[in-house]
Chains A and B, each alone.
Chain A
Amino acid sequence: MSSPIQLKPDETFILNVGPQHPATHGVLRVKMEMNGEYIVNAETVIGYIHRMHEKMGELKTYPQFLMNLSRMDYLGALGYSHGHVLVVEKASGIEVPERAEYIRAIMVELNRIASHLFWFGAFVMDLGGFSPLMYALQDREHILDMLEAVTGSRLTYCYFRYGGLYNDVDDQFVASARKFIPRMRKSLKKYHKLVTGNVIFRKRLEGIAPLSKETCRKYGASSAVARGSGINFDVRKNEPYSVYPEFDFDIPVYHECDSLARYNVRMDEIEQSLRIIEQGLDKLPGGPIMPEKKPKIIKPPEGDYYQAVETARGSFGVRLVSDGGKTPYRLKLRSPTYSNMHLFDESCRGMLIMDALAFMGSLDLVIPEIDR
Chain B
Amino acid sequence: MVAYFSEIYYGLISLLEGMVITFKEFFKPTVTVSYPYETLPMCDRFRGHVELIENEEGQPNCVVCGLCERACPSGCISLAGEKAEGEKKKVLTKYVLDFTRCSLCGSCVEACNFNALTFSKEYNLASRRKEDFIFDLLGRLEERNR
Q: Is A111 an interface residue (CB 8 A)?
A: no
A152 is contacted by which of B10, B21, B46, B71 (Cβ under 8 Å)? B46
Q: Which residues of the partner chain B approach A20 to less than 8 Å between Cβ atoms?
A: none
Q: Is B142 an interface residue (CB 8 A)?
A: no
Which residue of B is nearest A138, CB measured?
Answer: B31
Q: Is A64 an interface residue (CB 8 A)?
A: yes
A198 is contacted by which of B15, B43, B72, B106 (Cβ under 8 Å)? B15
Given A64-B71, A64-B73: A194 in contact with B106 (beta carbons within 8 A): no
Q: Is B133 an interface residue (CB 8 A)?
A: no
Beta-carbon contacts of B13-24 to A below 8 Å, as 1s and 0s? 011011001100
Q: Which residues of the partner chain A approach B72 to less than 8 Å between Cβ atoms?
A: 64
B22 touches A152 (CB 8 A): no
Q: Which residues of the partner chain B approach A353 to less than 8 Å between Cβ atoms?
A: none
Q: How far is A148 from B10 in the complex, measured between Cα atoms in Å?
A: 43
A148 touches B43 (CB 8 A): yes
Which residue of B is nearest A61, CB measured?
Answer: B73
Which residue of B is nearest A202, CB measured?
Answer: B14
Q: How far is A63 from B71 in the complex, measured between Cα atoms in Å?
A: 8
Q: Which residues of the partner chain A approach B21 to less than 8 Å between Cβ atoms?
A: 190, 193-194
A63 touches B15 (CB 8 A): no
B73 touches A166 (CB 8 A): no
Q: Is B107 an interface residue (CB 8 A)?
A: yes
Total chain B interface residues with beta-carbon distance under 8 A: 26
Question: How near does chain A come to B88, taking the closest CB pair, in angstroms?
Answer: 26
Q: How large is the interface on A (under 10, 10 to 19, 20 to 34, 35 or more residues)?
A: 20 to 34
Q: Which residues of the partner chain B approach A68 to less than 8 Å between Cβ atoms?
A: 73
Given A64-B73, A148-B43: A153 in contact with B17 (beta carbons within 8 A): no
Given A63-B71, A153-B104, A158-B106: A194 in contact with B43 (beta carbons within 8 A): no
B18 touches A198 (CB 8 A): yes
Q: Which residues of the partner chain A approach B110 to less than 8 Å between Cβ atoms?
A: 166
A149 touches B45 (CB 8 A): yes
Question: How near does chain A come to B89, taking the closest CB pair, in angstroms?
Answer: 24
Q: Is B80 an interface residue (CB 8 A)?
A: no
Q: Is A273 an interface residue (CB 8 A)?
A: no
Which residue of A is nearest B75, CB measured?
Answer: A64
Q: Which residues of the partner chain B approach A156 to less than 8 Å between Cβ atoms?
A: 103-104
Q: Is B63 an interface residue (CB 8 A)?
A: no
Question: How near does chain A come to B105, taking the closest CB pair, in angstroms?
Answer: 4
A152 touches B45 (CB 8 A): yes
Beta-carbon contacts of A52-80 to B below 8 Å, as 1s and 0s? 00000000100111111001000000000
Q: Is A199 an interface residue (CB 8 A)?
A: yes
Which residue of B is nearest A195, CB measured?
Answer: B18
Given A63-B71, A64-B71: A199 in contact with B10 (beta carbons within 8 A): yes
Given A193-B21, A199-B14: A71 in contact with B103 (beta carbons within 8 A): yes
A158 touches B17 (CB 8 A): no
A152 touches B119 (CB 8 A): yes
Q: Is A150 an interface residue (CB 8 A)?
A: yes
Q: Which residues of the partner chain B approach A138 to less than 8 Å between Cβ atoms?
A: 31
Known: A158-B106, A200-B15. 10 other contacts (CB 8 A): A64-B72, A64-B107, A65-B73, A131-B22, A138-B31, A151-B45, A152-B43, A193-B17, A194-B21, A199-B10
Closest 7 CB pairs of A and B: A199-B11, A67-B105, A64-B73, A152-B47, A152-B45, A158-B105, A197-B14
